[in-house]
Amino acid sequence: MPELPEVETVKSSLEPHLIGKTIKEVKVLYKNLIDTDDFEKKLVNQKIIKLNRVGKFIIFHLTDKTLISHLRMEGKYFLRENNDIYKHDHVVFKLDNGLNLVYNDVRKFGRFKILSKDKYLNEKPLSNLGPEPKNANVNQIFRILKKKNVSIKTALLDQKVISGLGNIYVDETLFESKIHPLKKTYKLKYFEVKKIIENAIKILESAINMGGTTIRTYYSTMGIDGKFQNRLKIHTKINQPCLNCKQKIEKIKVSGRGTYVCKNCQK
């Protein structure tokens, strides 16, 4: 379940190994991950110029194309020197230095799409994304939320409102902001929205610095484990005492997602 910090960690860990390398061959072993026709042919002899990240998407800037990769729930990348294919390997990019960049995905939810080099930000799926917290305008987000009649957690999980936040970091942000995840967005006051955005920025920056969060089956890539799980204050802490008031943390469901809350602190 990679969120913004985990995707940033994957991008950063891959970057030094891929910049300047040329894709010599592509093998797609599970076609449903691909949203572009002639995907394999279009990538042959494309040089990897740079990598960046938009929301939860990794962007591969190539010679004259842009490759968009969305890891979704369990997507991972591995760099391998051998040609062996392992369980859950679905896409293999053979590079000109003899290495293979392998996309592995237990759940098969990840997606790849080739977009134009200059207009990729204006094409789907990236054109649908809201701003990341660090780029968000409080006034604009406040206006958007006031027009909605959904829980604040549901709104924050909506990548069209704010991009990059997922289940873990929404729980942590709302706890830090002392706001109940089921609170309706139209009931939020301006200072509460400002607090949410400020805390989201702080939490995401801390998580990025610690390599993201490793929970259950997810780790970033090439054996890199994030450490932010050691800093979690509420997510996964069911029946443990709240750090602020010592009341037991509860687990509820919000939009089908397991959600952790201190009902004493979060109103």
pLDDT per residue over 78-133, tens digit each?
A: 999 999 999 999 999 999 999 999 999 999 999 999 999 999 999 999 999 999 99
CA-CA distance, 260 to 254, in Å (whole number)? 10
- Enzyme catalytic residues: 2-3, 56, 257
Whether 266 is in a domain gets the answer: no
Whether 255 is in a domain gets the answer: yes
Instruction: Provide the CATH number for the domain around residue 73.
Output: 3.20.190.10
Q: What is the pLDDT of residue 18?
A: 96
Kind and range of the H or E element at 75?
A: strand 75-80
CA-CA distance, 89 to 30, in Å (whole number)? 9
Low-confidence ranges of the chain (pLDDT < 70): 1, 211-230
Strand partners, 258: 253
Q: Tell me, yes or no, whether 162 and 96 share the same domain.
A: no
Nearest CA-CA partner of 192 in 170, 182, 177, 180: 177
Instruction: Provide the CATH number for the domain around residue 179.
Output: 1.10.8.50
Whether 251 is in a domain gets the answer: yes
Q: Tell me, yes or no, whether 15 and 119 share the same domain.
A: yes
Q: What is the pLDDT of residue 227?
A: 53
Q: What is the pLDDT of residue 221?
A: 54
Whether 43 is in a domain gets the answer: yes
SS3 state of residue 112: strand
Helices (H) and strands (E) in the chain, counts: 6, 10
CA-CA distance, 94 to 196, in Å (whole number)? 43
Q: What is the pLDDT of residue 188?
A: 98
Last-in-domain residue among 75, 98, 128: 128
Strand partners, 60: 51, 67
How many domains is the chain partitioned into structurally? Answer: 2
Cβ atoms of 150 and 72 closer than 8 Å? no
Q: Tell me, yes or no, whether 101 and 39 share the same domain.
A: yes
Q: What is the pLDDT of residue 216?
A: 44
The whole-model pTM stands at 0.90
Residue given tokens 């959904």 in the structure block: 150
What is the bridge-based pairing of β-strands 89-95 and 23-28?
antiparallel
Q: Tell me, yes or no, whether 168 and 218 share the same domain.
A: yes
Instruction: For residue 144, give its domain range.
Output: 133-261
Whether 167 is in a domain gets the answer: yes
